[in-house]
Amino acid sequence: MALGTTGLAAAVALIMVLSPASASVVNRSVVLTPAYKGTVSQPSTYLSVSGCAKAKLTPAHWNAKTGLVTLADSGSAVTCAKSLGYVGGSSSAFTESYIEVAIPVHAAHNGNNTVASAWSVNLASSSTFSAAACPAKNVNYHPALYQYSSAYCEAGADLEFEVSSSVQDLSNTSWYSNSSYVYGYNDSYNENYTDCYNYGTPTCYNYSYANSYHGSYGYNTAGVSSFTMNGASSLVLYNNGTHMVRGHHYVLTFEAFVYTDLFAEKANLLGPWTGSASAVINLATLGNGATLSSVSIS
């Protein structure tokens, strides 16, 4: 009996010694994986076309069971055959698919916490444009006082992808973490302009330039340097929160969007000119999409 009492006392003492350490291990990190519970999503789309352009988009969708986000945009623009002056020759297309998702989270412990969102992105995109040499322009190189005259031919294609995130304390709505994001883009164009005006002295500017650039950049994000607009990428977005309270309710909010901008435009030319542009950015079909693999709070 005495031995049993001593053994019980020793066991209680051991539990008292180990309990704080065990609690700290348990509280050190919390990991959420699909399916994500209690999420709310809000998708939106925007599409605008003019002239002879066409555009199509796949509205954004969030699957809380798998953590998958899908969305896609595409479009094309070509100069219209008939035009007079500034009217009728220009086409443009603009699309954007966007979604915002809120996921309930809790602090792993009181104090400073880091919320890390791990993403697996499979993205397919392409863009192209064509622009022949611009013909002579129907420009008044000596406009009257306070008059203006211009002519141009231009074509280009731009496509973009972005994911961003932040954390808010719902128990203290003025509290926010820092933000994080990754942004990828591919932009190319060719432009030829002549502008003349007279505000006392007739003045003309002629400029012609072409450019093509692509890349990615981010903030508080790992994996940006290896991010690709065609293929698979792994990203981790970090949101650092100071003075977090374990008993408060927090929400991790992320936003994802794809975007295309296309144009083929002409005005006041003395000869025929044809330009075109097209772009596709696919995060919705053929195995493409962005998956939130896990959310770690530590």
Question: How far apart are the C-alpha atoms of 255 and 166, rounded to whole Å?
Answer: 9
Which residue in 293, 249, 298 sits closest to 106, CA to CA?
249
Question: How far apart are the C-alpha atoms of 134 and 97, rounded to whole Å?
Answer: 34
Task: List, for residues 40-65, the tens digit of each pLDDT value.
Answer: 999 999 999 999 999 999 999 999 99
- Enumerate the β-bridge partners of residue 17: none
Task: List, for residues 234-280, the tens digit of each pLDDT value.
Answer: 999 999 999 999 999 999 999 999 999 999 999 999 999 999 999 99
Name every residue whose Cβ is closer than 8 Å to that of residue 158 and which is 6 or more positions away in sequence. 127, 185, 186, 187, 188, 189, 259, 260, 261, 262, 279
Question: How far apart are the C-alpha atoms of 234 and 239, rounded to whole Å?
Answer: 17
**Which pLDDT value is given to residue 42?**
98
State the pairing for strand pair 231-244/111-131: antiparallel
Residue 83: pLDDT band (50, 70, 90) is: confident
- Enumerate the β-bridge partners of residue 233: 121
CA separation (Å) from 33 to 9, 107, 114? 41, 16, 16
- Region class of 54: left (phi > 0), else alpha (psi between -120 and 50), else beta: beta
